[in-house]
Chain A
Amino acid sequence: MRIIQASDITEAVAKMAIEACYYLNSEMTEAFQKAKKNEPSPIGRIILQELLDNAKLAKKDLVPYCQDTGLAVVFVELGQEVQIEDGLLNDAINEGIHQGYDEGYLRKSMCDPLTRKNTGDNTPAVIHVSLVEGDKIKLIFAAKGGGSENMSSLSMLKPADGVEGIKKFVIQKCVDAGGNPCPPIIVGVGIGGTFEYAALLSKMALLHPLAHKNPDPVLAKLEEEILEELNKSGHGPMGLGGRNFALAVKILKAPCHIASLPVAVNIDCHAHRHKEMIL
């Protein structure tokens, strides 16, 4: 039994929220530099350079690199031997978001879906908890902006639709989005599970490092094929034409009902913001 203070969780979440919005992950700067080298469109290359320059400026001047500092999505891998003291897990996380978005001068972008009244402090976070073995807490923070999230989609395909049907759905949804989700995009795909689990898988898929190779060779091949097709679309960076419309496709699958083939696509913009900490 290991005791972890709720306040430590709050502190960790606040720190990750601020860092995610100010410090672009190095894997993205590397990806932009690589993309610039193979981008045939002059305006595409200009845009990729703007992304690189902006990341530097954001860090230097302490300005968020995108004004849509997003909804807070927090994944928690909670070790079964952990006992959280002096507060509830969800409260600790939400307090962290409240503090991080306040002290970090981040935008409060949450509202009631019907009245559209802003919640004022970017809470409540969307929290996904899973119990795992061990005595640690792994916290993953993702700042999910509206533009890319709005282009995401889910379909309950028929088993007969098969892999071709999956490819068609994913590719068409991404290509139809055009410049809306701020390409170059990262695409998360969830195949199988139930209606809601496919969606969750598609978001979890986005948490993998870009360089991570899918251990399933069938899925790895599918990722490559979809990425290749997406970059034939001609949309390019910010939809202004070019090759680099998508930087990576990540797929997770899970068993599903014998009558179903759920497929979900969750799109990330080029900010691709996520940070993790282990307590």
Chain B
Amino acid sequence: MTQELEITTPLTDEELKSIHSGDRLFITGAIYTARDAAHARMIKSLEKGEDLPFDIHGQIVFFAGPTPARPGRTIGAIGPTTSGRMDPYSPRLLEAGLKGMIGKGSRSAAVKEALVKYQGIYCMATGGIAALLSKAIKKADVVAYEDLGPEAVRLLEVARFPVICINDIYGNDLYEQARKEFMEPSKYF
């Protein structure tokens, strides 16, 4: 039975135990945005033994780059980019203490294994509802890699940011489960 859960950050392993694929989560607290370029830099930092631009323990990373905010507004439009492009980087960040990721689209086997091994969840925010999602953002500040513009690391203060859990710590995958339920026979797949 899928649940609707109110989640706060930072995430603890204990909290992750109660989250299952298919659950609708409303996240309140801090979320960090980072896309391809920022991930590449963060992995380089880890490889060099340097500190990451923020304390990653218990945190959630949202694969997103917003439109510029109109004057007087907190943020522009914001929504998920395709998570698969971050697959090469995510296992290392999970190992470093990352607990949640938000994006859209399926993850690789290596990422899903890392979610089980290091205890983390991957969630989907609906793509193309950026006006709605921006309403959940109460504060937004660039905290690293400002030169990357839309791809900078931003710290978002969010209130009831809506996502759906795709991959939980138990190895479940909502994309696979859901597709099986609705797939009809075809000679093409």
In the assembled complex, A241 has its CB within 8 A of some CB on chain B = yes
Question: Given contacts A66-B77, A175-B188, A178-B105, are A54 and B130 in contact (CB under 8 A)?
Answer: yes
Would you call B183 and A234 a contact (CB within 8 A)? yes
The distance from the CB of B12 to the nearest CB of chain A, in whole angstroms, is: 27
In the assembled complex, B53 has its CB within 8 A of some CB on chain A = no
Residues of A within 8 A of B128 (CB): 51, 54, 65-66, 182, 269-271
Would you call A147 and B130 a contact (CB within 8 A)? no
In the assembled complex, B110 has its CB within 8 A of some CB on chain A = no
Q: For the complex, what is the distance from the CA of A187 to the CA of B23, rounded to whole Å?
A: 31
Would you call B127 and A182 a contact (CB within 8 A)? yes
Q: How large is the interface on B (under 10, 10 to 19, 20 to 34, 35 or more residues)?
A: 35 or more
Residues of B within 8 A of A116 (CB): 37
Interface residues of A in 149-204 (CB under 8 A from B): 150, 167-168, 171-172, 175, 178-180, 182
Chain A interface mostly helix, strand, loop or mixed? loop
Would you call A168 and B178 a contact (CB within 8 A)? no
Would you call A233 and B130 a contact (CB within 8 A)? no
The distance from the CB of B105 to the nearest CB of chain A, in whole angstroms, is: 4
The distance from the CB of B171 to the nearest CB of chain A, in whole angstroms, is: 18
Would you call B84 and A57 a contact (CB within 8 A)? no
Q: For the complex, what is the distance from the CA of A234 to the CA of B176, rounded to whole Å?
A: 10
Q: For the complex, what is the distance from the CA of A106 to the CA of B182, rounded to whole Å?
A: 37
In the assembled complex, A85 has its CB within 8 A of some CB on chain B = no
In the assembled complex, A92 has its CB within 8 A of some CB on chain B = no
Residues of B within 8 A of A243 (CB): 182
In the assembled complex, B49 has its CB within 8 A of some CB on chain A = no
In the assembled complex, B180 has its CB within 8 A of some CB on chain A = yes
The distance from the CB of B25 to the nearest CB of chain A, in whole angstroms, is: 14
The distance from the CB of B130 to the nearest CB of chain A, in whole angstroms, is: 4
In the assembled complex, A30 has its CB within 8 A of some CB on chain B = no
Question: Given contacts A64-B67, A243-B182, are A179 and B132 in contact (CB under 8 A)?
Answer: no
Q: Which residues of chain A have a CB within 8 Å of any CB of chain B?
A: 40-41, 43, 47, 50-51, 53-54, 57-58, 61-69, 105-109, 116, 118, 146-147, 150, 167-168, 171-172, 175, 178-180, 182, 229, 232-236, 238-243, 269-271
Q: Which residues of chain B have a CB within 8 Å of any CB of chain A?
A: 37, 64-70, 76-79, 81-82, 84, 104-106, 124, 126-132, 134-135, 148-151, 164, 174-175, 177-186, 188-189
5 A–B pairs (Cβ distance < 8 Å), ordered by A = A67-B65, A179-B175, A232-B183, A234-B181, A236-B182
